[in-house]
Structure 1
Amino acid sequence: MRAVFVAGAGTEIGKTYVTASLTRALRAQDCAVSTLKPLASGVPPFGDPAFRESDTAILLDAQGMPLTAETVEACSPWRFAAPLSPDLAAAREGRSLSLFELVSWCEARLQGGAPETIIVIEGVGGLMSPVTSEATGLDWLKALALPTILVSGSYLGAISHALTAAETLRCHGQRLLAVVICESLGAPTSPETVADAIARHVPVPVVCIARDGECPEALARLVQAGSLNLTA
């Protein structure tokens, strides 16, 4: 089993778009892929027509899977209605989630799949966004210890946000596999300009994905080669 974690330098920057594009690119290269988003906020009820625009629905479509109650639960078991960090969204519904539950669920999927499958786990919000009342996305990532793809936008301030997130990963001993710049609509500079600036400060590939573009084949090949082999 091989696996990679997709983290964000912030929220609403195209993380799901990148994850879905990567999933389609891996499948195009004849890779078996299982893409998961265990936590999701701002999600309409399953029966609501708007659910088809949710992150979970987008990721299931990228995998070529039908949109059913079973596939939704298998991809995103913790879904909350409020567009807030998961801890706050859960509290609004009188629910709670522990880091132990979240990590245990992910580990079961990592250990239970076919050896040739690449598992892609998408985080929620930014790297330091709270995921439970006591833990952040970084705590979640550290517990899984997976290679990380860091997604940033191209908006004003994105360079600082991406480098701060990359430095946080380095300081906590997490392996950064690549940085992806997803085009921000209305940004003052091009994604390529932002990527060039970030690339001068990180020792990993930095690639761009246009808002309506496809995942570069090079990124898919990098994930195939650099994702963690959990059976090694």
Structure 2
Amino acid sequence: MPARAVFIAGAGTEIGKTYVTAALTRRLRALGRPVRTLKPLASGVPPLGDPGFAESDTARLLDAQDLALGEAAVEACSPWRFSAPLSPDQAAALEGRSLDLADLVGWCRAQIAGTREGTLLIEGVGGLMSPVTETATGLDWLRALGVPAVLVSGSYLGAISHALTACETLRLHAVPLLAVAVSESEGAPAPASTVAGAIARHAGAPVFCLRRDEPCPDSLADLI
């Protein structure tokens, strides 16, 4: 099976992007398909020795791959990690650090080139238009990689508009959209399935609903 890279983008921040990415990783592995999952850029990440690290996005993705929380595995999954729970450009500035888009894209391209079989999942950070460097957004990162995307949305009030705006943005920039995954938001006024149905009428791509504590649908995994 030829290697394939897919970018997991978000319609917003804190909407379940890592939950969906981990669920998709587990489903692909359960189907016997080789998969490697990365979150190259992450903020709000405690040091590895901090007990809170186990709740970080990086730790959740390593757990989905059945990888131990060792320094090498963490570095291989998320080489750019920042402590503050802010956009990466702001979090980096607080640490006196900076990130160049060319370095981020170059690293990701090297991982894509080194994937000989199966699927490489690359989870983005924040929402599609969140800044990742002082001059670039998540969309710039995705466009530079030239890979298809899965868009993750929440089911909170306003999620339909946010998801469709992101879908339209991807379309205008000629980014292939494989699917939209609606992750159930806690306390949302409407069922996630209702939100997914509304998005599906306009998205121009397959839409799937992922409720909390439920596995990734096989039909979504089949598109990857």
What TM-score do you get using the length of structure 2 for normalisation?
A: 0.98
Aligned mates of 1:125, 1:140 — CA distance in 2: 12
SS state at 2:12 partner: coil
The within-5 A match list for 1:1-232 is 1-114=3-116, 116-223=117-224
Deviations 1:35-68 (A, max 9, x none): 0000000000110011011000000000011110
Partner deviation per Cα, 1:170-228 (whole Å, 9 max, x = no partner): 001100100000000000000110011111102211000012211001111111xxxxx
Letter in 2 for 1:172: H
Give me the whole-angstrom Cα distance separating, in 1, the residues matched to 2:201 and 2:181.
14
Distance in 1 between residues matched to 2:154 and 2:4, nearest whole Å:
27
CA deviations 1:111-162 (Å, max 9, x no partner) are 0122x22000000000000000000000000000111000000000000000
**Structure 2: which 5+ runs fail to align?**
none
Counterpart-to-counterpart distance in 2, 1:5 and 1:28: 20
The alignment partner of 1:201 has SS state of helix
2:195 counterpart letter in structure 1: V
Matches of 2:125 and 2:212, distance apart in 1 = 19
- TM-score, structure 1 normalization: 0.95
- Tell me how many residue pairs correspond in the alignment: 222
CA distance in 2, matches of 1:206, 1:112: 30
What secondary structure, in the 3-state scheme, does the structure 2 residue paired with 1:222 have? coil
Per-residue deviation at 1:80? 0.2
CA distance in 2, matches of 1:199, 1:51: 36
Shift of 1:166: 0.3
Secondary structure at the counterpart of residue 188 of structure 2: coil
What secondary structure does 2:221 align onto? helix
Query: Moved runs in structure 1, 4+ residues, more than 6 A?
Result: none
2: CA distance, partners of 1:34 / 1:202: 28
Letter in 2 for 1:194: V
Structure 1: tracts of 5 or more residues without a match? 224-232
Aligned to 1:226: none
Percent of residue pairs identical: 68
